[in-house]
A = this chain, B = another copy of it.
């Protein structure tokens, strides 16, 4: 099955798990849960949970377990978008063509919904239903916290805010993106290895794959911002240039950026050499990431 088709089919599956995991509440706190559901179920590619499940499948992990971990990762991703869209951060009113959570509800609710999605992700990873072995649950928690923390996702977001308007060079942009988006993507692939009790070498290979995949993904995003079709991309294009933002494309130019993305995708695939056909799905993802038009 081609990746776009597989992603579409998977979106329904992960949405139903997210829907199950986020309670419906009564009373004054209902608003909080409504906002969490809104933020987590608003759509998106669902690439992170897809990577969790695809990696876990290589080790024959039970699908109900990998789907729970995928849902936890998606909640962390959703929380980061809710907080990033706040007026004091990137100040975006729209997300995927819909009102951002703080516009649909209000800022206070958006802050709390983000906080609670993050908290819920750890609740899921710590729950017995996620894996029978406490060692696995505890490793998942530890690895996710590192990926989402100050040396990972939130640290990357801080750098992005502080560096606004500054001219960053390629090594700095690479580091920023590896933290801001790469760390959670890398966790998504590592989570499959943790769930599957993979060897240290296998886990490192998946980490390497996801690291390169994340950068390829980001460069392609930058390319789509320059040459993409707004209708297909689903958001306004040309935003980076207007904002005077240093991106891979603004520094490398379109041609070299495209070569770089392709090289990273090839490099990502090379990390999978010891996995045989079990890793075909992940190889397809790497090709898809640089070929997509949205």
Is residue A89 contacting chain B, with contact meaning CB distance below 8 A? yes
- The distance in angstroms between the C-alpha atoms of A125 and B137, with both chains bound, is 12
Given contacts A122-B141, A134-B134, A135-B134, contact A150 B25 (CB under 8 A): yes
Instruction: Report which of B108, B138, B158 forms a contact with A137, defined as CB distance below 8 A.
Output: B138
Instruction: Report which of B29, B111, B154 forms a contact with A86, defined as CB distance below 8 A.
Output: B111
Is residue A36 contacting chain B, with contact meaning CB distance below 8 A? yes
List, in ascending order, chain B residues with CB within 8 A of A123's CB: 141-142, 145-146, 149
Given contacts A116-B154, A134-B138, A149-B120, contact A107 B127 (CB under 8 A): no
Is residue A159 contacting chain B, with contact meaning CB distance below 8 A? yes
Indicate how many identical chains form the complex. 2
Q: Which residues 216-258 of A have a CB within 8 angstroms of B?
A: none
Is residue A119 contacting chain B, with contact meaning CB distance below 8 A? yes
Is residue A186 contacting chain B, with contact meaning CB distance below 8 A? no
Is residue A139 contacting chain B, with contact meaning CB distance below 8 A? yes
Interface string of A144-159 (1 = CB under 8 A from B): 1110111100111111
Q: Which B-chain residue is minimally distant from A162 (CB atoms)?
A: B28
Given contacts A145-B122, A159-B27, contact A154 B107 (CB under 8 A): no
Is residue A283 contacting chain B, with contact meaning CB distance below 8 A? no
Is residue A31 contacting chain B, with contact meaning CB distance below 8 A? yes
- The distance in angstroms between the C-alpha atoms of A38 and B162, with both chains bound, is 18
List, in ascending order, chain B residues with CB within 8 A of A79's CB: 115
Inter-subunit contact A118/B115 (CB<8 Å): yes
User: How many chain A residues have a CB neighbour from B under 8 Å?
Assistant: 56
Q: Which residues 145-177 of A have a CB within 8 angstroms of B?
A: 145-146, 148-151, 154-159, 161-163
Shortest beta-carbon distance from A17 to chain B in Å: 17
Shortest beta-carbon distance from A154 to chain B in Å: 5
- The distance in angstroms between the C-alpha atoms of A109 and B157, with both chains bound, is 10
Is residue A32 contacting chain B, with contact meaning CB distance below 8 A? yes
- The distance in angstroms between the C-alpha atoms of A120 and B146, with both chains bound, is 8
Inter-subunit contact A88/B108 (CB<8 Å): yes
List, in ascending order, chain B residues with CB within 8 A of A29's CB: 150-151, 155-156, 158-159, 162, 179
Instruction: Report which of B28, B88, B138, B159 forms a contact with A163, defined as CB distance below 8 A.
Output: B28
Inter-subunit contact A111/B111 (CB<8 Å): yes
Q: Which B-chain residue is minimally distant from A118 (CB atoms)?
A: B118
- The distance in angstroms between the C-alpha atoms of A29 and B160, with both chains bound, is 9
Given contacts A122-B122, A126-B145, contact A115 B114 (CB under 8 A): yes
Is residue A19 contacting chain B, with contact meaning CB distance below 8 A? no
Shortest beta-carbon distance from A195 to chain B in Å: 14
- The distance in angstroms between the C-alpha atoms of A235 and B236, with both chains bound, is 47
For this complex, 6 residue pairs linking A to B, each with C-beta atoms less than 8 Å apart, are A29-B159, A83-B112, A86-B108, A120-B150, A123-B145, A126-B142
